[in-house]
Each structure stands twice: as structure tokens, then as C-alpha cells.
């Protein structure tokens, strides 16, 4: 059964660890993440961007796949199925499709409009027992064609949004999506501490988890980050393992072209990446 992310994140905040959000793209991704979470007895959040939702043939298809897989594979750890960077319309679609959590990314709206739309969604998700993530201050890099500059959120604006009754808050602290450039300035712990001070018990979300040094991740968790999004890193490890298989000519040996064989190394690579992250975030054994 899918659960809202509310309880798992409150527990993470109290226990000083973070739950990973791993974005899914297809069946292999989903299976690799769910099996790893179960093996490590870790709570997990499956992230679905609007683009990935479209790619996987619609939100209802995703819900059917995830629910069916959890039942057949006997997944008993807490799993939240979460819309990543949703538009207002996308959020409504995922509520209808049976997701258990949504993120409304209103960071590109003026703050008053972000507040108004977030407020409406707080009401809607409460009626469905779902959790809601809001965003203040755009997160840099590119995600589904949306380009942000990696700005730092205004702690007072964070408090305004947090007070609406959202369950988790993504605040820009100099983090960006995708690989980090060589001249990246690092996370702004000053901003993070200021946001944490204003928002108190609110679990904070760190987007763009790929390539942030381990000591920065640990410090961010110490300062109140309870959810960390990982997307690019699984894509890179899947691509590298698949490339190796092809370059070694293994698809030309026997029935090596069988997709179940062809995609196996990438599948194992995602599992290894997810395991590494769950260990780093401290969520192992917390299910
Ligand atoms: Zn993000």
C-alpha cells in the first residue's frame, strides 16, 4: 500500500536522517529501487516528474505498475509515490490517479500566487490523506526544460509557505539539478540554517542530490534536511553499465540481445547507487 510521505519524514526529522526520493523512468528503475528499499528495510519515495509520467504512458499507468509490483514483490517498507515538480494541473491529475504525495512547484510564480495555489492544494491533499511538498526559491539547473539559477530562498517566504500546512518544503540553498559545474559555490548552510530556524519542525527537502559532497549532505541533514532527491546519479550509473555491456559486445554473444539480459547490468547499477545513497542518508533499517 502506498503511504503519504508525512509520517516517514517526521520520523526522519526527529531521528536526524533523510529519506531518499529516487525518480523512476520505467519498470527496471521502479523494481531496482523498491527491491533495494525492501532489502535494506528503508522507507522510500518514488519520484515521478511530469515528463517521466508522460513517458511511462500516464500517471494511472504508473500507479498501476507501482501498486502491482509492491504486491507481487511483497514490498512492506513505507513507499510514497510522489509527483516531482508538479504544475497545478499536474497535481490535480496525480490526486485523481492515486498518487500518495505531490510536489507543487510554484517557485516561478510571484510569492502571493505561489501562496494562493499552495493553499488550495493543502486543502485538496488533506481530503485524500496525501502529503504535499512546496517550493520556495527556484532550484538551479535544468529539469524537464525548466531552468533555474540556483538562487537562495528567502527564509521569510519559506515561513509563509510552511505555515500553510504543507508537509515538506524545498528551499533553494544554492543546489542545482543535474551534474554540478566545476565552479559551483557549494550549498549555502547559512540560508539552510535561517530557513530551519523560521520553519521549525518542517522537514526540508534537498533537490539535486547528485554530486553534492558527502560531508555537505551530512551537514545538510544535521541542519534539518529530511528528504533528498536523487535522479541524475541513477541515470549516470545505468548508462555507464549499459554502455559497458554493449561495448564489450555482450549483446552479440548468445541471446545477449534479450532485453532482460541487456538491461540487467543497468538494473544492478541502479540498485548499487540506491544502496549507497540510503546508507549515506542514514535511512537503512528505519522502515
Ligand atoms: Zn528538483
List C-alpha distances in Å: 197 to 98, 135, 194, 210, 216: 34, 17, 5, 26, 19
User: Which residue of the set 84, 105, 154, 167 is catalytic?
Assistant: 84
The packing angle between helices 155-162 and 189-199, to 10°, is: 40
* Cα 239 to middle of ligand 1, angstroms: 21
* Cα 46 to middle of ligand 1, angstroms: 13
Residue 12 and residue 115: Cα distance in Å, rounded?
A: 26
Percent over 70 (pLDDT), the chain: 96
* Between residues 64 and 150, the one the model is more confident about: 64
* Cα 142 to middle of ligand 1, angstroms: 9
**Using CB atoms within 10 A of its CB, is residue 135 exposed (0-12), middle (13-18) or buried (19+)?**
buried
Report CA dihedral (145, 151, 157, 159) to the nearest 10 degrees. Answer: 100
* Cα 103 to middle of ligand 1, angstroms: 9
Give residue-wise pLDDT tens across range 68-99: 999 999 999 999 999 999 999 999 999 999 99
Asked about 167 being catalytic, the answer comes back as no
- The pLDDT value recorded for residue 145 is 53
- The pLDDT value recorded for residue 184 is 82
Residue 255 and residue 155: Cα distance in Å, rounded?
A: 57
234: its cell numbers: 541513477
Contact 175, 215 (CB under 8 A): no
Q: Which domains does the chain have, with CATH numbers?
A: 6-281 (3.20.20.70)
* Cα 245 to middle of ligand 1, angstroms: 30
Please tell me what DSSP assigns to residue 154: P
- The pLDDT value recorded for residue 151 is 77
Q: Assess whether pLDDT exceeds 80 at residue 230.
A: yes
Amino acid at each position: 500500500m502506498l503511504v503519504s510521505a508525512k509520517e516517514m519524514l517526521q520520523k526522519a526529522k526527529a531521528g536526524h536522517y533523510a529519506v531518499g526520493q529516487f525518480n523512476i523512468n520505467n519498470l527496471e528503475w521502479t523494481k531496482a529501487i523498491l527491491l533495494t528499499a525492501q532489502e535494506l528495510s528503508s522507507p522510500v519515495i518514488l519520484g515521478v516528474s511530469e515528463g517521466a509520467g508522460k513517458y511511462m504512458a500516464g500517471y494511472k499507468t504508473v500507479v498501476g505498475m507501482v501498486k502491482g509490483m509492491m504486491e507481487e514483490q511483497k514490498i512492506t517498507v513505507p513507499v510514497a509515490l510522489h509527483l516531482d515538480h508538479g504544475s497545478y494541473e499536474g497535481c490535480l491529475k496525480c490526486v485523481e490517479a492515486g498518487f500518495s504525495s505531490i510536489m507543487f512547484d510554484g517557485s516561478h510564480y510571484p510569492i502571493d500566487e505561489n501562496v494562493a495555489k499552495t493553499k488550495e492544494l493543502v486543502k485538496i491533499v488533506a481530503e485524500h490523506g496525501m502529503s504535499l511538498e512546496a517550493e520556495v526559491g527556484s532550484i538551479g539547473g535544468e529539469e524537464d526544460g525548466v531552468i533555474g539559477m540556483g538562487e537562495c530562498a528567502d527564509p521569510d517566504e519559506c515561513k509563509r509557505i510552511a505555515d500553510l500546512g504543507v508537509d515538506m518544503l524545498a528551499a533553494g540553498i544554492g543546489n542545482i539539478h543535474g551534474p554540478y559545474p566545476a565552479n559551483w559555490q557549494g550549498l549555502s548552510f547559512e540560508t539552510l540554517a535561517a530557513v530551519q530556524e523560521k520553519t521549525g519542525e518542517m522537514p526540508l527537502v534537498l533537490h539535486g542530490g547528485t554530486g553534492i559532497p558527502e560531508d555537505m549532505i551530512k551537514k545538510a541533514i544535521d541542519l534539518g534536511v529530511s528528504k533528498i532527491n536523487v535522479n541524475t546519479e541513477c541515470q549516470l550509473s545505468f548508462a555507464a553499465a549499459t554502455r559497458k555491456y554493449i561495448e564489450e559486445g555482450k549483446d552479440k554473444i548468445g541471446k545477449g540481445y534479450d532485453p532482460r539480459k541487456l538491461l540487467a547490468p543497468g538494473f544492478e547499477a541502479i540498485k548499487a547507487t540506491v544502496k549507497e545513497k540510503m546508507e549515506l542518508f542514514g535511512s537503512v533499517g528505519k522502515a
